[in-house]
Structure 1
Amino acid sequence: MSQIFTLTMPKWGLSMTEGRVDAWLKEEGQAITKGDEVMDVETDKISSSVEAPFSGILRRQVARQDETLPVGALLGVVVEGEASDAEIDAVIEQFQSSFVPGDAVDEDSGPKPQKIELDGRLIRYFERGEGATPLVLIHGFGGDLNNWLFNHEALAAGRRVIALDLPGHGESAKTLQRGDLDELSGVVLALLDHLDINAAHLVGHSMGGAVALNVARLMPQRLRSLTLIGSAGLGAEINGSYLQGFVDAANRNALKPQLVQLFSNAELVNRQMLDDMLKYKRLEGVDAALRQLAGSVFRDGRQQVDLREVVQAGHVPTLVIWGSDDAIIPAAHADGLAARVEVLPGQGHMVQMEAAEQVNRLILDFIQQH
């Protein structure tokens, strides 16, 4: 029994409409396994690799290097089993004749971020999927819900998944009161209340991990599990010069050396990412919010809150994921934790973006057990 699969331009994040083919990573006639990186694509937000959602032989490269194609466009054909060239030609012809650019990015067809007022301030969140215990994604310092653009959809297969912008970040209100973890955790709990979610799985990255840990400290009964990715709150060390450099950066030349520290592949930091980050940093209230948070949670280049005991107490099942080469928070903070620990070799701080398929699989396997 043979199967002919079409490999198409993925949609990463809400605003992606097209991608440019940088390079094919597999040759025609080469065997590929589900999860293999097949080609590099650059979008206006980020460069990343297209992963094969199926296994087989790459029989046809349809997209050409340097070609810019809309989301959903045909990139290549993969065959499991046997198929003649004529059968492959027919599949390509049928696909191309029926493909309408824009269908995959129709603004009216998909879920959109929403904004609600929680305790007197506007909070943006985005949800997709339904069923099972909801999963909530919490970004880190200076990030927003787009930090999960390679995770949200994959995690939402058969489950409701919600990502939010913390106060001071993204399109949420920029004003902070105390600028501490209790304030940020209170917003997460208020969002759960607003959405009538009694129990949830929390996934937190970096400072978002400390926020998730603090929610577990305050209200363990509301949580089914915790997943902590390159998490703050588990040790004193943090890259203080990165934090200071990020907060102070006012142009591309100052910002780029900071952002490249987040990734194992520095080429992911493209001009658009820098421009987007500078645009955010120039919004009214952002500089004050970042300085307030850094001064409270990471004062003097050290983490001020130790939440290891939340994990060690064992009240909430915990998965810890770290990149071995994390240059922001050392992976050694995972040592000795009473949790399932997965250290991914060669990965940096933004491991949920750079090793998305692996991270998604780990999270799904873990939460299905709880």
Structure 2
Amino acid sequence: MSGVYRRHWPGDAGRPALALHCMLASGSYWGPISERLEGRIDLQGFDMPGHGRSDPWNPGPDDPDYHSAVTRLAASFINRPLDLIGHSMGATVALRIAIAAPEAVRSLTLIEPVLFAAVPGAAQAQPEMQIEQLLAEGREEDATRGFLAAWGSQGYDDLSERMQVQMRARIRLVAECTPTLAGDRPRILREDGLESIDAPVLLISGGDSPRVIHEIADALAARLPDVGRATVPDAGHMLPITHPDEVAGLIGVNLDRA
């Protein structure tokens, strides 16, 4: 796919890694994480379509859905086993890749994966479930405001006007991922899928994150063969940005396990 902005933080050439960011952000926030890892991994990333410095998401009639398109992009970076790191929606992409090609993953670090389908009863209460209705009513600002209140590091009114415009422009991409995150359209949770991942997995959560995040981690951890859990105190959903020291340290722990 053209128009995708790639990022690279050089490190140990023998230890390739790929980091996948969350919705309504960009891959730039992996830079401080990479600095703290001090070259232990050769880290690559990219800005998802419609995010950061990548071109807008304008799919054609034969193009895949957004989550599948991002998954294909991420898979294109993999030519040998690597350390795979994902945050939020990016973590669900990382998990999807690890299930499809477990032999390609050396270690898997999942930071707050928003795979709501893992806890279907709780999923319906999430802001993502309301975004489609708000957008259908033409209420982009309300949809964006609600999403950021639950998942952002800043509230909508704390952002600059330029950032507010960018967030409103991207909020439809969140709604587009609802069938995957809440309905598990790609069958990430299929029988024997999670169980097939033999790489060490680390699930990282923020202590102050929404309860559903911890419930998702519980559900995933119960099925993963080699899994660790970590909670960062006083951190919310955007902990890679707000707590880079702690997140980088935990990623390093999982790198050691592999």
What TM-score, normalized by structure 2, do the two folds share?
0.77
Counterpart pick for 1:292 among 176, 179, 189: 176
5 Å-filtered alignment, 1:143-292, equals 143-173=25-55, 174-176=57-59, 177-192=63-78, 197-233=79-115, 235=118, 236=120, 237-238=122-123, 240-242=126-128, 244-245=130-131, 248=135, 250-251=140-141, 255-262=144-151, 270-272=158-160, 275-279=162-166, 281-282=168-169, 286=170, 289-292=173-176
Three-state SS of the structure 2 residue aligned to 1:150 is helix
Q: Sort the Cα spacing of 1:278 and 1:303 in 2 relative to 1 into closer, same or farther, 3 A.
A: farther
Conserved 8 A contact 1:145-1:165: yes
Gaps of 5+ in 2: none
- Greater percentage in helix: 2
Conserved 8 A contact 1:213-1:233: no
Cα deviation 1:2-39 (Å, max 9, x = unaligned): xxxxxxxxxxxxxxxxxxxxxxxxxxxxxxxxxxxxxx
- Greater percentage in strand: 1
Q: Sort the Cα spacing of 1:218 and 1:231 in 2 relative to 1 into closer, same or farther, 3 A.
A: same
Provide the aligned C-alpha RMSD in A. 3.1
| 1:325 correspondence with 2:208 | yes
Gaps of 5+ in 1: 1-117
The separation in 2 between residues aligned to 1:166 and 1:329, in whole angstroms, is 25
Q: CA deviation at 1:268?
A: 10
Counterpart pick for 2:235 among 344, 347, 358: 347
Q: Sort the Cα spacing of 1:333 and 1:291 in 2 relative to 1 into closer, same or farther, 3 A.
A: closer
- What is the count of residue pairs matched by the alignment? 237
Runs of 4+ in 1 over 6 A off after TM superposition: none
Counterpart pick for 2:8 among 112, 127, 130: 127
Cα deviation 1:174-199 (Å, max 9, x = unaligned): 1242215433211111133xxxx422
Conserved 8 A contact 2:140-2:171: no
What TM-score, normalized by structure 1, do the two folds share?
0.56
Q: CA deviation at 1:267?
A: 7.5
Q: CA deviation at 1:293?
A: 2.8
Give identity over the alignment, percent: 19
Who is 2:199 aligned against? 316
Cα deviation 1:271-313 (Å, max 9, x = unaligned): 33x632523543xxx565444333x324xxx342553554333
With a CA cutoff of 8 Å and minimum separation of 6, indicate the structure with the bigger relative contact order: 2
Which structure has the bigger radius of gyration?
1
Who is 1:5 aligned against? none
Who is 2:244 aligned against? 356
Q: CA deviation at 1:354?
A: 2.1
Who is 1:101 aligned against? none
